[in-house]
């Protein structure tokens, strides 16, 4: 009984392996491992929360659950862009944290084999810090995000009230 369930879990893991959801920020395309993505929703009214970093846009009510939303553009210190009807929130669940990522638009789901992923060059740029690898797909490149650095992060920890 439990073996079957385990097998299923492995299978699921397996089918999700190597799959990435890609999204667009300006001219670049980013990829995020599909196993962390719970859903993609349209932009919702966001409640502003005071005293948080600028890239934390606030909180939204996702069917009764309160989740924080982060503007990935601002997180990467890119110029602000007005939200439009292509703007999406990608809801990810990573290590007990559920968070929405605001992106310009969602592109597609891609298979990227481990062999096609190369380590990023060691550059000291903000956006570079959150990249765990560069995937090559049909001649174009996707920047693959490191979820743990994106959310469970240094800068958030440093923000303290009264400091």
Partner 1 sequence: MMEHGKREPMFEMFLYESNQLIEQLEQTILDVERCGAMTLEQINQIFRVMHTIKGSSAMMMYNHISELTHYAEDLFHYLREHPSAIDDPTSLTDLVLSVSDAMKSELRKIDRGEETKDHFSELVADVRAYIHNLKEQGVGGKTAPSNALRETVERQPQAKLARSDRAEPGTTAYEAVLRFDEDCGMENIRCFTVVHNLKDNADIFGYEPEDIMTNHEGSSERIRRDGFRIAFSSPQGYDELIEFFAGSSYISKVDLTTVAAASETVEAVPEQDARPSADSKTPAPTSAMQAAQESIQSTQSHFLSVNVEKMDKLMDLVGELVISEAMVTEHPELRGLQLDQFLKAARQLKKITGELQDVVMSIRMVPLSATFQKMNRIVRDMSKKLNKDVALHIAGQETEVDKSIIEHLSDPLMHMIRNCVDHGVEAAEERAAAGKPAQGAVWLEARNAGGEVWITIRDDGRGLDKNKILAKAKSNGLLHKAEEEYSEREIYSMIFLPGFSTKEAVTEYSGRGVGMDVANKNIQALGGTIHVESVLGKGTSVVVKIPLTLAIIDGMTIKVGDSRFTVPTGSIRESFRVNDEEIIRDPDGNEMLLIRGRCHKVLRLYERYALRTEVTALDRGVMLMVEYEDEAVCIFADELLGKQQVVVKSLPPILKKINGVSGCTLLGDGSISLILDISGLLQPAA
The DSSP symbol for 96 reads T
Question: Can you tell me which of 25, 37, 56, 91 binds partner 1, judged by CB under 8 A?
Answer: 56
How far apart, in whole angstroms, are the C-alpha atoms of residue 124 and residue 99? 26
**162 near partner 1 (CB under 8 A):** yes
Question: Can you tell me which of 66, 109, 113, 118 binds partner 1, judged by CB under 8 A?
Answer: 66
In the complex, least distance from residue 51 CB atom to partner 1, rounded to whole angstroms: 5
**107 near partner 1 (CB under 8 A):** no
Q: In the complex with partner 1, which residue's Cβ is closer, 27 or 157?
A: 157
What character string, x for contact with partner 1 (CB under 8 A) and - otherwise, covers 32-51?
Answer: -------------x-xxxxx
> How many residues of this chain bind partner 1 (CB under 8 A)?
28
Q: Return all residues near 17 (Cβ < 8 A) that are at least 6 apart.
A: 35
How far apart, in whole angstroms, are the C-alpha atoms of residue 58 and residue 46? 6
How far apart, in whole angstroms, are the C-alpha atoms of residue 93 and residue 105? 19
Q: Which residue blocks in the chain are alpha helix, DSSP H?
A: 2-16, 72-75, 147-151, 154-158
Residues that bind partner 1 (CB under 8 A): 45, 47-52, 56, 59-61, 63-64, 66-68, 97-99, 151-152, 156-157, 159-163
């Amino acid at each position: 009984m439990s073996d079957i369930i385990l097998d299923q879990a492995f299978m699921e893991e397996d089918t999700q392996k190597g799959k990435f959801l890609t999204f667009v920020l300006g001219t670049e395309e980013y990829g995020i491992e599909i196993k962390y993505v719970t859903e993609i929703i349209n932009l919702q009214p966001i409640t502003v929360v005071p005293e948080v970093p600028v890239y934390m846009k606030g909180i939204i009510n996702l069917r009764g659950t309160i989740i924080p939303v982060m503007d990935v553009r601002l997180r990467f210190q890119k110029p602000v862009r007005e939200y439009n009807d292509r703007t999406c929130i990608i809801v990810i669940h990573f290590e007990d944290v559920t968070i929405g990522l605001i992106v310009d638009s969602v592109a597609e789901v891609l298979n990227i084999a481990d062999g096609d992923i190369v380590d990023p060059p060691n550059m000291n740029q903000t956006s570079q810090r959150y990249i765990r690898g560069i995937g090559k797909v049909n001649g174009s490149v996707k920047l693959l995000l490191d979820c743990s650095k994106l959310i469970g992060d240094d800068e958030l920890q440093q923000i303290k009230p009264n400091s």
